[in-house]
């Protein structure tokens, strides 16, 4: 470590000599003035005032115990009780050996006996005390988070290890506290206010988990780690923090991941990885604020990491296969295969077929979905071109777009290139965009969708009935079809067979002049009811499950014959 230079004044460290004897003050100044800038005080009160005035630059205090107004021991006790000056090292000047012991117990760094020893001895004691104090400051600066005063992660893990050595049988919990939607706090209040909130949170946690039996850490911007004796009241703790600890003016929502009664055979970091996994499990859950780790969560996390790691290879080896679920036009007497939706499946060489429910939300969360979607878009366009050439007729295919992809300024160019490369038209590649994408950041999404429509792409609003868009909003949206959410259909038929909402949506679509597509249709009853209500297109297991390209081709051939 390098020596600190924060306390240098004109190239010298700052020292205070507090002694009521003029000759002692002058003698010490003469000994030290070549190396130090010396302040002098003749009584305890004057010394205290000078210390407060120069607390940011003072490197050491030489303190006589026998002084008027405020004795050396009284001043020493006052110094150690003041957080702004308690870390300035104090060397006691005394001829009383009993007072030496008492001074050391009250926080003095060292003592120099009276009468004074040789100047070199005095200088050596002073130099050593300053060096030790500055070393402690450097260590403190690295082991403590500057904002909150809690341990940094590196030192936190070390202190947990030390705690375990002295408490090997203690039943301990590893806990991860996270602030929900921390980025919103930054947007709402700004960095200064958020810093105040984080300090209040740290103080609140330190008040709940005492330093005598717990170890606390600020791990990242909004993540706090706590190693504490096992307890079962984390919900109450979250409620207390969220309702506002003393001194915290803003209510926030936190979540906790708990690795309860943790296995001490695991290294410390692994224990808190488990706590973090539990906390992340409820990241977007608005009703659950405490999650307890179990081995199932770890298996899920490891599985997710494996999928992410193997994604590039899977894409290169075309392990992802595009399936096609037929859509049937039911406006005539006989249902007619009119289009299809492209759905991706992952055929892993070792794990077999991986459910889209396992990898699509994962890839949406880490940004890989854009690469996968473009792969599906291109494979779908290639199949449209292939079938068009083979059967002499066109079959449009719908592909899905995530909300994140709608912000891509190159999106239109990407689709234009796919269409150009494969030789199909924009009218043959339908684009499905979820209703929720329109609801959030609607103006920007509407602009992007309008651009796509201007280039001739057919736009389907997917999952209608799940995004809570207003009727006024729907009337202004650039869409070519409404696609009813699968759950919307299921609920309508399961709950007292009340299809009035579906009827209303179909009336809205008719007013807008766009067809209605119902997905998730599984029974003849649903099919007949939807047909009677005026639904245009049906998709679901009643007609067909999603099919590999070869099986879908067979249906195409049958429908074209």
Of 391, 443, 387, 384, which is closest to residue 415 (Cα–Cα)? 384
Task: Say if residue 112 is in the same domain as residue 219.
Answer: no
Of 228, 261, 293, the position where a domain reaches its end is 293
252 lies in a domain? yes
Cis peptide preceding 424, ω within 30 of 0: no
- Are 404 and 370 contacting, i.e. CB atoms less than 8 angstroms apart? yes
**Backbone phi, psi, residue 110, to 5°:** -170, 180
At residue 5, the pLDDT reads: 46
Task: Say if residue 428 is in the same domain as residue 552.
Answer: yes
303 lies in a domain? no
Task: Say if residue 231 is in the same domain as residue 379.
Answer: no
Task: Say if residue 46 is in the same domain as residue 165.
Answer: no
> Rounded mean pLDDT of 123-143?
81
Q: Chain centroid to CA 364: how far?
A: 15
Instruction: Convert the pLDDT of each residue in 235-256 to its tens digit.
Output: 999 988 877 665 555 667 889 9
Task: Say if residue 388 is in the same domain as residue 528.
Answer: yes
Residue, of 300 and 395, whose pLDDT is higher:
395
Task: Mean pLDDT check: name the lowest of 171-175, 183-187, 316-320.
Answer: 183-187
At residue 124, the pLDDT reads: 92
Residue 64 CB: number of other CB atoms within 10 A? Answer: 25
Residues 6+ away with beta carbon under 8 Å from 366: 308
Q: Which domain holds residue 551?
A: 316-342+371-560
376 lies in a domain? yes
Residue 259 CB: number of other CB atoms within 10 A? Answer: 27
Task: Say if residue 512 is in the same domain as residue 400.
Answer: yes
Instruction: Convert the pLDDT of each residue in 70-105 to its tens digit.
Output: 888 888 888 888 877 888 899 988 877 777 778 888
Task: Say if residue 536 is in the same domain as residue 419.
Answer: yes
Task: Say if residue 412 is in the same domain as residue 552.
Answer: yes
262 lies in a domain? yes
For residue 260, give the CATH number of its domain. 3.30.70.270
Q: Quick check: 7 pLDDT over 90?
A: no
Q: Quick check: 536 pLDDT over 60?
A: yes
- Are 364 and 404 contacting, i.e. CB atoms less than 8 angstroms apart? yes
164 lies in a domain? yes
At residue 341, the pLDDT reads: 96
Total structural domains within the chain: 3
For residue 132, give the CATH number of its domain. 3.40.50.2300
Instruction: Convert the pLDDT of each residue in 187-238 to its tens digit.
Output: 777 888 888 888 888 988 998 998 788 999 998 888 999 999 999 999 999 9
Task: Say if residue 110 is in the same domain as residue 42.
Answer: yes
Per-residue pLDDT band at 61 (split at 50, 70, 90): very high
Of 143, 167, 199, the position where a domain reaches its end is 143
At residue 1, the pLDDT reads: 34
> Rounded mean pLDDT of 326-343?
94
Share of the chain above pLDDT 90, in %: 49
- What residues pair up with 13 in beta bridges, in sequence order? 8, 36
308 lies in a domain? no
Task: Say if residue 284 is in the same domain as residue 400.
Answer: no
Rounded Cα distance between 543 and 105, Å, is 86
Provide the Cα torsion 78, 82, 86, 92; round to 10°: -10
Q: What is the DSSP string of 461-489?
A: EEEETSS---HHHHHHS--SEEEE-HHHH
Instruction: Convert the pLDDT of each residue in 176-189 to its tens digit.
Output: 999 888 877 777 77
pTM: 0.62
61 lies in a domain? yes
R_g (Cα) of the chain, nearest Å? 36
> Rounded mean pLDDT of 36-43?
92
Residues 6+ away with beta carbon under 8 Å from 537: 327, 328, 329, 330, 338, 339, 481, 515, 516, 517, 518
Any alpha helices (H) in 227-291, and if so which ranges?
A: 234-242, 268-281
Residue, of 327 and 501, whose pLDDT is higher:
327
359 lies in a domain? no
Task: Say if residue 96 is in the same domain as residue 18.
Answer: yes
At residue 8, the pLDDT reads: 57
Of 143, 172, 188, the position where a domain reaches its end is 143
Looking up tokens 């170890």 gives 215
Per 3-state DSSP, the chain is made up of helix, strand and coil in percentages (nearest 5) of 50, 20, 30
For residue 375, give the CATH number of its domain. 3.20.20.450
At residue 465, the pLDDT reads: 62
Per-residue pLDDT band at 441 (split at 50, 70, 90): low
Provide the Cα torsion 49, 52, 57, 59; round to 10°: 80
Task: Say if residue 244 is in the same domain as residue 126.
Answer: no
């Amino acid at each position: 470590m390098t020596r600190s230079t924060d306390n240098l004044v004109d190239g010298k460290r700052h020292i205070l000599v507090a002694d009521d004897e003029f000759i002692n003050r002058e003698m010490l100044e003469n000994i030290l003035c070549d190396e130090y800038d010396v302040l002098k005080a003749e009584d305890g009160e004057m010394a205290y005032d000078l210390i407060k005035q120069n607390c940011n630059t003072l490197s050491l205090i030489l303190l006589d115990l026998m002084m008027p107004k405020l004795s050396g021991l009284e001043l020493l006790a006052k110094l150690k009780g003041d957080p702004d000056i308690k870390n300035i090292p104090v060397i006691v000047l005394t001829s009383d050996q009993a007072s030496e012991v008492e001074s050391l117990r009250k926080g003095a760094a060292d003592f120099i006996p009276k009468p004074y020893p040789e100047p070199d001895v005095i200088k050596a004691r002073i130099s050593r005390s300053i060096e030790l104090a500055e070393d402690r400051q450097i260590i403190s600066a690295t082991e403590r988070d500057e904002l909150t005063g809690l341990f940094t992660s590196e030192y936190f893990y070390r202190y947990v290890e030390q705690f375990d050595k002295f408490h090997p049988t203690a039943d301990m919990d590893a806990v991860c506290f996270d602030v929900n939607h921390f980025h919103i706090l930054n947007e709402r209040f700004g960095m200064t206010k958020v810093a105040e909130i984080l300090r209040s949170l740290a103080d609140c946690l330190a008040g709940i988990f005492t330093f005598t039996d717990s170890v606390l850490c600020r791990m990242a911007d909004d993540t706090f780690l706590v190693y504490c004796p096992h307890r079962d009241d984390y919900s109450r703790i979250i409620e207390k923090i969220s309702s506002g600890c003393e001194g915290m003016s803003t209510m926030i929502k936190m979540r906790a991941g708990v690795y309860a009664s943790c296995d001490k055979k695991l290294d410390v970091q692994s224990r808190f990885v488990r706590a973090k996994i539990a906390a992340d499990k409820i990241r977007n859950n608005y009703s659950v604020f405490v999650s307890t780790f179990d081995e199932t969560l770890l298996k899920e996390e490891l599985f997710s990491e494996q999928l992410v790691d193997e994604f590039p290879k899977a894409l290169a080896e075309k392990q992802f296969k595009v399936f096609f679920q037929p859509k049937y036009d039911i406006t005539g007497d006989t249902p007619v295969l009119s289009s299809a939706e492209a759905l991706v499946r992952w055929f892993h060489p070792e794990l077999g077929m991986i459910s889209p429910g396992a990898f699509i939300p994962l890839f949406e969360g880490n940004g890989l979905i854009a690469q996968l979607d473009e792969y599906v878009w291109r494979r779908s366009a290639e199949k449209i071109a292939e079938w068009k050439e083979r059967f002499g007729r066109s079959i449009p295919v719908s592909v899905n777009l995530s909300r994140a992809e709608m912000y891509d300024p190159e999106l239109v160019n990407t689709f234009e290139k796919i269409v150009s490369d494969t030789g199909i038209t924009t009218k043959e590649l339908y684009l499905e965009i979820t209703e929720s994408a329109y609801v959030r950041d609607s103006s920007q999404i509407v602009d992007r969708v309008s651009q796509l429509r201007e280039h001739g792409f057919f736009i389907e609003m997917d999952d209608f009935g799940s995004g809570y868009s207003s009727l006024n909003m729907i009337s202004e949206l650039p869409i070519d079809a409404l696609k009813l959410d699968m759950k919307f259909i299921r609920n309508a038929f399961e709950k007292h067979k009340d299809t009035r909402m579906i009827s209303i949506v179909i009336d809205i679509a008719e007013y807008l002049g766009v067809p209605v597509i119902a997905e998730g249709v599984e029974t003849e009853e649903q099919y007949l009811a939807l047909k009677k209500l005026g639904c245009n297109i049906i998709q679901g297991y009643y007609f067909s499950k999603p099919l590999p390209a070869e099986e879908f081709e067979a249906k195409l051939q049958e429908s074209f014959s």
